[in-house]
Structures are given as C-alpha cells and as structure tokens.
Amino acid sequence: MKVLSLDGVTRRFADFVAVRDLSFSIDSGHVVGFLGPNGAGKTTTLRMILDILRPSWGTIEVLGGPPRREKAAEIGFLPEERGLYPGMSILQTVVYFGQLKGLSRSAARGAAMRLIERFGLAEFRDRPVDRLSKGMAQKVQLATALVNSPKLLLLDEPFSGLDPANQVVMQDEILAASKAGSTILFSTHVMEHAERLCTRLLILAHGQKVFDGSQEGAKAMLPARVRLRARSDPSRLPGVARAEPMPALEQGWTDWHIVLKPGAAPGDLLQACVQTSFVLRDFEAHSATLHDVFLHLAGPPLEAGR
C-alpha cells in the first residue's frame, strides 16, 4: 500500500520556488530519510503533506486520498520548532493532542500515561512544559506525535538540540514506532542518524530531488578512495583517477590519498601494485560515506527557504 505519493509538486512563494517538480511515493513499513541542507525544501514539503500549505501545482495523496486535516487521526507530526502550550502539564498536553486526533478522553489518557512512563517522564507528568529542559520537551513533543499510534509519522529534524543520551532515546522510539506499524518520513541533515535508521533515502537540493534509493545505491555513486604509503608516485597505476601526496611520518616515504576511477575497486589497485612490483608500506581502502554523498549531491546550505 502506498502511504504517501507526490506527483510533480511545486511550491512558490512569490518569486522564490521552494519546491520544484517533486515526485516520490512511499510504501507502508519504510523508514525514509528526507535529507538535504537547510533551504532545500524539506519543511515546505512536510507542510504540504500535512495540508498546512497547498502546492502551487502538482498532486499529493496521503493514505489513499488528498491531504486533509481530517486525516490527523492517522498522522503523527513532530515539528522542528516547539509547538507546546507553556502553561499545560506534560500529561494535559499529551492527552489534549490525543483528543485533537480523535481519541476519547479515556483512551487519550491511557495512551499518554503509557508514553510518559516509557519516556521516563512519569514523575514530572504534572510539571508545566515551560519548566522542562529542551530534551524533556522534545520527548513530550514526540509523545504528542505518537499518542494516536499513527499510520504515517512525519518528523522534522527530530534530533535538533538533543544531547547524545536523548538522541539514543529518539532513535529507539523511531525504530519502535516502525515496528509497531508506522511508516516514517523524517527530515534531517545529520547523516549519522540517517545511516542508523533509514531503509531508504530521499535527498533534496535547491528544492529538487537529486537522489531516491537505498544507502548502498547512494554510496555506490561515488568512487572508492585509498590511502597508501609509497616511495614513488602511484598516479599511473591502473584505475587511479587522482593521487594527492601528503607528508608521511617516515623519511623517504609519502602518503597518497587516491581517488579511483568509476568502477575501479581498491582490490584491483592492490593487485596492480603487486603485479608491477610497486613498493608499498601501507594500504588502506575507504568506502564513501553517506556524508560524502550528501556533500556531493546536495552541496552547501542555502541562505533562504526551507
């Protein structure tokens, strides 16, 4: 089942195009990383999915039909900016959001109590949210997104401002929500979280999709790299696209950072060194990281537009 589908979606703000001709679909059960630098159009896209903004043109389908606010009962959303009422307690807040999403008061309270307990907030349940730390407030926001056991969970920079311990809590809860049946689309520009959580990646740059696929497919787009220590220049070895010398700690040797040609493998280069009697002191292969792919495809952040 397709939980979410966008076809040719564009969103203009006067003369600025925040999202341009964006198309993708997500089947149920996936955890999809929605990646891109600040200004790439991620938040604008999430707001269109939620029917907070309307596309300038193009179509969106959410859970089998056009986005409507009536579908809130099946959707969870954690915005990047804080969206809590400062004078309400933790328990009141989560119960209130549960009722907004169509739960009865008793069902909302039961779900809220379970989440508050699971997030380690039970002893603070009557504390007003304006007296919470940033990490605790983020847990409360996540609880408001999960209280209705959503079929589609949208998370906008969910790790923003969290310390390492609370980042682990957030990761665990995203995985738990996925196992419980939620399809998850989460926006981030921190590649470590995407690497740990995602079954699929969507990468935006300048409002346009530049990649849609698996982590392995993304990393395969970039050539392999090798660091070796040698007495002579490896530039002419088979498969070498570029070799950059760096000073080595041992006299008479040079460290070389090597970028291989497309399709060339580090093992092939090592075999060529053996066959040509190219003298090596050290040889270390480096696969492309998701961070490398991100910089290659998305580039630096933009100054305006989300």
* Domain end point (choices 202, 219, 236): 219
d(CA 262, CA 41): 31
Summarised one tens digit per residue, pLDDT across range 57-79 is 999 999 999 998 888 899 999 99
CATH of the domain at 234: 3.30.70
pLDDT at 229: 95
d(CA 33, CA 43): 13
What's the average model confidence in pLDDT over 100-118? 96
Instruction: Indicate whether 150 and 258 sit together in one domain.
Output: no
Amino acid (1-letter code) at residue 131? R
Instruction: Indicate whether 41 and 111 sit together in one domain.
Output: yes
Within 13 Å, how many C-alpha atoms sit on residue 241's CB side? 13
d(CA 101, CA 80): 20
d(CA 256, CA 281): 11
Instruction: Indicate whether 156 and 141 sit together in one domain.
Output: yes
Instruction: Indicate whether 117 and 136 sit together in one domain.
Output: yes
Domain annotation covers residue 296: no
Total domains present in the chain: 2
Residue 16 CB-density burial (10 A; 0-12 exposed, 13-18 middle, 19+ buried)? exposed
* Domain end point (choices 219, 254, 273): 219
Least confident of 28-32, 51-55, 222-226: 222-226
Please spell the DSSP secondary structure of 226-279, one letter per residue.
EEEEESS--TTSTTEEEEEEEE-SSTT-EEEEEEEPTT--HHHHHHHHHHTT--
Instruction: Indicate whether 134 and 44 sit together in one domain.
Output: yes
Residue 81 confidence (pLDDT) above 90: no
Summarised one tens digit per residue, pLDDT across range 287-302 is 888 888 888 888 654 4
Domain annotation covers residue 300: no
* Domain end point (choices 219, 247, 271): 219
d(CA 75, CA 72): 5
Domain annotation covers residue 141: yes
pLDDT band at 286 (very low <50, low <70, confident <90, very high): confident
What's the average model confidence in pLDDT over 258-279? 92
What's the average model confidence in pLDDT over 199-220? 92
**pTM confidence score:** 0.83
Percentage helix, strand, coil for the chain under 3-state DSSP, each rounded to 5:
35, 30, 35
3-state secondary structure of 115: helix
Residue 161 confidence (pLDDT) above 80: no
The domain of 37 spans 2-219
Instruction: Indicate whether 122 and 270 sit together in one domain.
Output: no
Domain annotation covers residue 103: yes
Domain annotation covers residue 302: no
Instruction: Indicate whether 185 and 114 sit together in one domain.
Output: yes
Domain annotation covers residue 305: no
Taking all residues of the chain, what is their mean pLDDT, rounded to a whole number? 91
* Cβ(224)–Cβ(287) below 8 Å: yes
Domain annotation covers residue 298: no
pLDDT at 300: 55
d(CA 29, CA 32): 10
Instruction: Indicate whether 94 and 189 sit together in one domain.
Output: yes
DSSP state at residue 287: P
Domain annotation covers residue 77: yes
Instruction: Indicate whether 15 and 109 sit together in one domain.
Output: yes
pLDDT at 30: 94
Instruction: Indicate whether 103 and 234 sit together in one domain.
Output: no
Least confident of 25-29, 205-209, 239-243, 260-264: 260-264
CATH of the domain at 167: 3.40.50.300
Angle at 63 between CA 58 and CA 65, to 5 degrees: 50
pLDDT at 28: 93
Taken in order 63, 19, 159, 50, is the CA torsion positive or negative? Answer: negative
Residue for token digits 């809220």?
112
Instruction: Indicate whether 212 and 236 sit together in one domain.
Output: no
Residue 3 CB-density burial (10 A; 0-12 exposed, 13-18 middle, 19+ buried)? buried
d(CA 37, CA 30): 22
* Cβ(129)–Cβ(120) below 8 Å: no
Contacts of 49 (CB under 8 A, 6+ apart): 4, 6, 60, 62, 67, 154, 185
Instruction: Indicate whether 33 and 177 sit together in one domain.
Output: yes
- % of the chain with per-residue pLDDT over 90: 71
pLDDT at 304: 41
pLDDT band at 220 (very low <50, low <70, confident <90, very high): confident
pLDDT at 306: 47
